[in-house]
Amino acid sequence: MAEGSQEPGALLVVENLHYAYATNYALRGVSFTVAERSIHGFVGPNGAGKTTTLKILATLLSSHHGKVRVFGMDLGTDCRAVRRRLGFMPDHFGLYRQMSVFECLDFFAAAYGLDLGERTSVIEAVLTLTDMQGRRDELIRNLSRGMQQRVSLARVLVHDPDLLLLDEPASGLDPRARIEMMEIFKELRRMGKTIFVSSHILSELADLCDSVTIIDRGEARYSGSMEGLQALAGETADYVLALQEPCPGVQAALEGLEGVKGVERLHEDGAEYRVAFDRTVVDTNAILCAVMAEGGCVTSFAPDKRHLSEAFMELTSPGVP
Amino acid sequence: MNMPALAFFSRAMRRQVTGLWPCLFRSGLLAIAFLFLLAVFGASAGLSAPGLTAFQVVAFLNLAFITLAGFGYFATAITEEKSEMMLGLLKMTGLSPVSILLGKSTTRLLAALIVLLVQVPLSLLATTLGGVSWLQFWAVYAALAAYVIFLSSLGLLCSVLCASSTRAGMLTFAVVVLLFALPNLGAGLAGSGWLSGTVGAGVGQASDFLDECLVTSRFTEVFETGFSGAVVGVQFASNFLGGILLFLAAWGLFGLLTREQKEAAPRRGLLPRRTRAVRWLGAGRCWKRALTWKDFHFIAGGYSWGVGKLLVYAAVAALLTFSMAGEFEVPIFALVLQGVAVGGTLLEVSAFAGRLFNLEKTWKTLAGLMMLPMNLRELFGQKCLACLLALIPNAALFFFAFLLNPQDSAAYMVEILENPSLSGLVAGGLVLGTVFVMLVATFSLVLKHGALLVSVGIFVVGSCFVTPVFGIFGVMGGSGLQFAVAALVCGSVVFILGRMMVVLVRRAAAAE
């Protein structure tokens, strides 16, 4: 069952959500909360119910059971009002590929009721944000997958939605395009948008998200902050320590500390270590003191982002659902 | 089954036997034939050769269905693999081009031949009604079989030539129309005196030969009383041979035209981009009714097709005038142009209905539409408005033709308005047209191809059951009560189809 509870300023509240395709239950009592102006990751293996949840939130599937409140409005009764403040980017883009970039954005802006003047400025703004100004007159069908992904995001943004629902936004993108896409999401968060993103790429979600829901076989296994995931690992904490330059005595000093379970040098000639320690015995200050006592100059000391992958593996079941 | 070339064949056979839609289609066609036989049997007392009448109806019905299948079924043999990006994978399996072509075309050919075959026992009943001999019976089915072979190969060639199923279907349609029009055009040209003696005679002979190759001409010959010709004639030989030649052409071109596999993507058609010199014919900025703008330009063809069809329809009307009258006479041209404008409107509306949601479903854009802050009624309304806007050139042509021959045109109008049967027919035609368009739109959400074909079938069967509809609208001197019943029947059908469309659109959007 989800651990997350309703937080003040929650923009999206899902409680006990059920959905069945004929007799096959896709969702079995999923609950989670998404805070305003945050990025919430939605993670799960194939067939876990991610896309079904997204489609319900996007008002495309209606015959569900349970409570879904978006912006304080009930999804079942205030569907039209919700749609105005919602942007959904499916994994297949959903673009009119025979149109040019400008025509497509102009169409969606007009469909959302923006007048001619507004449309011109909004399209310029979203093209700038997605770095597509130079491609405005190109046919979408002629663009690369990464570019089409950007146009799809621009399309979702034309009516200035408060909540963005993104289904696998980075799938099929090359590493550069993926990183650039993540930077756009961070920029959108800075602009005050709330982003609900489903993805398989856990390392990037770990960098990006403020909170996460892990879903498996139609049930939410975890929902809450990224830091909360650490608690799942029990009393052991994993941190990555980066030094300005290699310091030979550090590893031995740390290994000598009571409560430290292991120190692993990440690169043979580098100055990065993964430190596993029992937080009930030793705290981060003690570790930092030990490093500095050995003359090590610390550049960063942060929780290891791998914990999302580890939590994912722990919380989800193996095999095909 | 070790031969890879037979893999398609066995799969197709299995689908034909166990598939729901092939069985439904065969049953539907059989039901239509049975209904017509029953109708003729019922009226046999008043007919001199009821068997022949029934058999003629069944034969022409088959011809119509096979021709429609040519556009929507035979012409998708290769294009469906192209659109699913499967052609490259098929080639990688080691299948030779001829194996792929044979596999893909014989499956469709077989399906059509099975449809003909299952009717044989039923059609034999016609011989028991009198007026049709065994020779006539087998000659008609031989003519139909040869026509199926020809059309199947023509569809296959168009499917190899074109990138999309829509284009292949349109090309097949254009070639078939041309083939049926050529004998008349040739005869008109030969008789006009414009060509010199030898050339004129040659054109005349070629036209006569082409006419002999047409299945319709063969039917006319076979259905003559006392027909004593062979079971197979020139039409059979020419259609069969033509089918083989077209298959060979498809084989020859297959390697060349499928060398590069391009990702299937929606086409822009004639619509110019804003960077082009003729951008004034382009889509421009989106209108306030955004969906109307989109569908007008990107489904109905926009201004470019609006201008284009003025020229195309006028040219078709001129050719028809010439082939009918042997010379260009403005009053006849005006009447023909009115007919072409009305016929073109019917075709365009049917095509638009078939593409209305089918394209959104195919290119997975329905979810985006469904998320717009508008209800489905507004969505349907804006789409229908786009279709109406696209028909403005048709209306303009119709009234231009009216101005060219005001006396005759006005006389027809007055006759329609004053004659309750004719005005009833027009009103009934409009209502039934609405039902038909909704049928096409509904089936286009269920079927990938062939929505038009299935709709025609259902429409024909439905019309048999609701024959009173025509009477209700005054065609058969209907009363007020009949009118009310007809309005209720059609209204109910439109309502049910409307609800079905809503459910299907929602389901398709959620499934994307």
Would you say residue B118 has pLDDT above 80? yes
Q: What is the pLDDT of residue B108?
A: 84
Q: Are B345 and B296 members of one domain?
A: yes
CB-nearest to A98 from B268, B291, B368 is: B268
Tally of structural domains, chain B: 3
Residue where a domain stops, chosen among B395, B413, B431: B413
Would you say residue A41 has pLDDT above 90? yes
Task: Please tell me the distance from the alpha carbon of residue A274 to that of residue A256, in angstroms, as a whole number.
Answer: 15
Q: What is the pLDDT of residue A5?
A: 42
User: Does residue B318 lie within any of the structural domains?
Assistant: yes
> A167 in contact with B at a CB cutoff of 8 Å?
no
Would you say residue A111 has pLDDT above 90? yes
> A273 in contact with B at a CB cutoff of 8 Å?
no
Residues of chain A with CATH 3.40.50.300: 10-230
Task: Please tell me the distance from the alpha carbon of residue B23 to that of residue B15, in angstroms, as a whole number.
Answer: 9
> A106 in contact with B at a CB cutoff of 8 Å?
yes
Confidence of residue B472 (pLDDT cuts 50, 70, 90): very low
Residues of chain A with CATH 3.30.70.100: 233-309
State the nearest Cα–Cα gap between B266 and chain A, in angstroms: 5
Q: Are B449 and B403 members of one domain?
A: no
Task: Please tell me the distance from the alpha carbon of residue B145 to that of residue A66, in angstroms, as a whole number.
Answer: 59
User: Does residue B281 lie within any of the structural domains?
Assistant: no
Q: Are B391 and B325 members of one domain?
A: yes
> A22 in contact with B at a CB cutoff of 8 Å?
no
Task: Record the pTM.
Answer: 0.77
Q: What is the pLDDT of residue B6?
A: 73
Q: What is the pLDDT of residues A123-146, one digit of tens each?
A: 999 999 988 989 999 999 889 888
Which has the higher per-residue pLDDT, B282 or B264? Answer: B282
Task: Please tell me the distance from the alpha carbon of residue A211 to that of residue B402, in angstroms, as a whole number.
Answer: 70
Q: Are B233 and B308 members of one domain?
A: no
Q: Are B225 and B89 members of one domain?
A: yes
Q: What is the pLDDT of residue A38?
A: 93
CB-nearest to A55 from B266, B275, B510 is: B510
At position B444, the amino acid (one-letter code) is: S
Would you say residue A256 has pLDDT above 80? yes
Q: Are B240 and B335 members of one domain?
A: no
Would you say residue A229 has pLDDT above 60? yes
On chain A, the residues whose CB falls within 8 A of the CB of B265 are 97-98, 141
- B79 is in which domain, residue-wise? 5-257
CB-nearest to A96 from B275, B298, B373 is: B298
> B288 in contact with A at a CB cutoff of 8 Å?
yes
Task: Please tell me the distance from the alpha carbon of residue B311 to that of residue B241, in angstroms, as a whole number.
Answer: 35
Would you say residue A198 has pLDDT above 70? yes
Per the CB < 8 Å rule, is A97 touching B283? no
Q: Are B83 and B186 members of one domain?
A: yes
Which has the higher per-residue pLDDT, B453 or A157? Answer: A157
- Find the mean pLDDT for residues B271-293: 80
What would the two tokens of residue B46 be? 């008043």
Q: What is the pLDDT of residue B34?
A: 77
Task: List Cα–Cα distances, A97 to A104, B80, B296, B510, in angstroms.
Answer: 8, 19, 16, 20
State the nearest Cα–Cα gap between A98 and chain B, in angstroms: 5
Which residues are A303's β-sheet partners?
A: A239
> B262 in contact with A at a CB cutoff of 8 Å?
no
Which CATH architecture group holds A233-309? 2-Layer Sandwich (3.30)
Q: Are B40 and B139 members of one domain?
A: yes
First to last CA, chain A: 18
State the nearest Cα–Cα gap between B373 and chain A, in angstroms: 5
User: Does residue B262 lie within any of the structural domains?
Assistant: no
Q: What is the pLDDT of residue B125?
A: 78
State the nearest Cα–Cα gap between A89 and chain B, in angstroms: 9
Q: Are B381 and B438 members of one domain?
A: no
Q: What is the mean pLDDT of chain B?
A: 82
Q: What is the pLDDT of residues B229-279, one digit of tens each?
A: 888 989 999 999 999 999 999 999 998 888 777 766 777 777 776 666 666
Would you say residue A9 has pLDDT above 70? yes
Supply φ then ψ for residue A201, to 5 degrees: -90, 90
Q: From the candidates A83, A88, A107, A157, which should be mutated to test the interface with B, based on the most B CB atoms within 10 A?
A: A107
Q: Are A110 and B280 in contact (CB under 8 A)?
A: no
User: Does residue B263 lie within any of the structural domains?
Assistant: no
User: Does residue B268 lie within any of the structural domains?
Assistant: no
Q: What is the pLDDT of residues A292-301, one digit of tens each?
A: 888 888 888 8
Confidence of residue B481 (pLDDT cuts 50, 70, 90): low
Lowest mean pLDDT among B81-95, B191-205, B259-273, B311-325: B259-273
Confidence of residue B142 (pLDDT cuts 50, 70, 90): very high
The shares of helix, strand and coil residues in chain A, as percent rounded to the nearest 5, are 35, 30, 35
Q: What is the pLDDT of residue B265?
A: 73
Residue where a domain stops, chosen among B239, B257, B275: B257
What would the two tokens of residue A166 be? 């993104």
Confidence of residue A1 (pLDDT cuts 50, 70, 90): very low
Per the CB < 8 Å rule, is A60 touching B367? yes
Per the CB < 8 Å rule, is B373 touching A84? yes
- Find the mean pLDDT for residues A162-168: 92
Would you say residue B42 has pLDDT above 80? no
Q: What is the pLDDT of residue B390?
A: 94
Q: Are B16 and B445 in contact (CB under 8 A)?
A: no
Q: Are B473 and B372 members of one domain?
A: no
Would you say residue B446 has pLDDT above 90? no
Q: What is the pLDDT of residues A70-103, one digit of tens each?
A: 988 888 888 888 888 999 998 888 899 999 999 9
User: Does residue B118 lie within any of the structural domains?
Assistant: yes
Residue where a domain stops, chosen among B413, B444, B478: B413
Return the SS3 of A29: strand
Which CATH architecture group holds A10-230? 3-Layer(aba) Sandwich (3.40)
Per the CB < 8 Å rule, is A92 touching B275? no
Q: Are B122 and B276 in contact (CB under 8 A)?
A: no
